[in-house]
Structure 1
Amino acid sequence: LPFPTLSLPHLSTPCTMSSPLYWESLCVFSTAAQQRSTGDECGPEDPRDEPKHPLSDCALEHKAIKLEEQVRDLTERYRKALADSENVRRRTQKFVEDAKLFGIQSFCRDLVEVADILEKTAESAAEEAEPTNPNPTLQKIYEGLSLLEAKLQSVFAKHGLQKMSPVGDKYDPYDHEIVCHVPAEGMQPGTIALVTQDGYKLHGRTIRHALVGVAVESQE
């Protein structure tokens, strides 16, 4: 039988089985084909084709519980922060309002001393301007002092400053200061029988206590 021939593209003449080049070329072709076949079957797998292992139901439930706890914790912190912010806002607003109302407190304390002097002067002028002493000058002075005192008290009231004349009221340590005790004649013990100095309040806050005498039961 004639030997088969092998045509190679890079050779101008065919190779026969008796030629060493024939067997060498055949070995090369066989090895390349085997490598291609092996590479197709045993090549590296696509990592995307690897099966994924999903989390178990228990793990998912545990994770959900953790997330819910975090949400509750953050919500509670947010609410507390809002409450703290609101408290700070209210305290700041109250501080500003008090500063507006009571910023003149020291000034008012000084003014009420002037009012005391004016009141005592008007009382002295009233005693001198009695009908038994018909002096027109003293009468005019008394009338002028009375008008001035009334105007001053009107200005005080306009700015929230009020005088306390607590005769007959129950003794209150927040508003009154006891300077003496007097026998309770026709009065309930513990009530104020006399006032030696008027007290004053600024917008409901006592800025000067009234000096009072309190009625007590007489000791027989």
Structure 2
Amino acid sequence: MTEETTPETGRPDQTADTAAAAEPAAVSPEARIVELEEELARLKDQALRALAEGENIRRRAEREKEEAGKYAVASLARDLVSVADNLHRAIAAAPAADARDETLANILTGVEATERELLAAFERRGISKLEPMGQKFDPNLHEAVFEVPGTGQPAGTVVQVLQAGFTIHDRLLRPAMVGVAKGDDTATKVDTTA
């Protein structure tokens, strides 16, 4: 091989060698097909993953929107629950309706109607009052304040309700404050003499 020199520099001409090196080696058509199929599979996988991610985001947004609609009133409901408690206390504290005192009877009737209307409004919004009397204590719904011995009830049974609890749809808004039966020690002892 003869070296050619460039007239400007007098150095050997390397463009011919560089051009030959820059040309890709001849790739067989089968190898090129395999390469393109692998790239196609990779791109399909990326596209499927992007579609799945988009669907997950859409579902999550729908779920969050639904929950926001369901539970948006939770803060207001917590405040109104104490109003329901006060109405219930007012009704319980009123003396027995005396036929001679028509004014007191009318006030009591109005307070009872207000309580019924408030509880009906709660029901329309998915807010339910918990009535745990006689039920087994559930730490997810109840708050045990004290134990009552000698009730004749199984241990852990709600025997007194101090404050009603409330749920909003499937979530606890406020736990019921309760007194639970204390287990009778004699009933729980096992006879070991046999």
State which of 72, 77, 98 in structure 2 corresponds to 1:108: 77
Q: TM-score, normalised by structure 1?
A: 0.67
Gaps of 5+ in 2: 1-25, 187-194
Report the 3-state secondary structure (helix = DSSP H, G, I; strand = E; otherwise coil) of the residue aligned with 1:94: helix
Q: Which residue matches 2:10?
A: none
Q: Paired residue for 1:151, among 117, 125, 132? A: 117
- Check conservation: 1:199, 1:211, Cα contact below 8 A: yes
- Which of 101, 117, 122 matches 1:135? 101
Q: Is the 8 A contact 1:129 1:138 kept in 2?
A: no
Q: In structure 2, what is the equivalent of residue 65 of structure 1? A: 34
Aligned-residue offset at 1:218:
2.5
Q: Do 2:136 and 2:156's aligned partners in 1 also have CA atoms closer than 8 Å?
A: yes
The Cα RMSD (Å) is 1.9
Aligned ranges 1:161-200 → 2 under 5 Å: 161-183=127-149, 185-200=151-166
1:214 matched to 2:180? The reply is yes
The question of whether the paired residues in 1 share the 8 Å contact of 2:150 and 2:184 is answered with yes
Kept in 2, the 8 Å contact 1:118–1:145? The answer is: yes
* AA matched with 1:172: D
Asked whether the equivalents of residues 155 and 184 of structure 2 are also in contact (C-alpha less than 8 Å), the reply is no
Amino acid at match of 2:125: H
Identity %, equivalent residues: 37
The one-letter code matched in structure 2 to 1:144 is: G
Q: How far is the alpha carbon of 1:184 from its aligned partner? A: 5.7
- Structure 2 residue aligned with 1:43: none
2:52 to 80, 83, 88: 83
Distance in 2 (alpha carbons) for counterparts of 1:140 and 1:97: 43
What pairs with 1:118-129 in structure 2 (closer than 5 Å)? Answer: 118-125=87-94, 128-129=95-96
Question: Which stretch shifts more, 177-186 or 146-155?
Answer: 177-186
Larger Rg: 1
State the 1:194 CA deviation.
1.4
Question: 1:173 aligns to what SS in structure 2?
Answer: coil
Show structure 1 runs of 4+ deviating over 6 A.
none
Alpha-carbon distance between aligned partners in 2 of 1:172 and 1:183, rounded to the nearest angstrom:
19
Structure 1: unaligned runs, 5 residues or longer: 1-54
Q: TM-score, normalised to structure 2's length?
A: 0.76
Contact 2:157 2:180 in 1 (8 A): yes
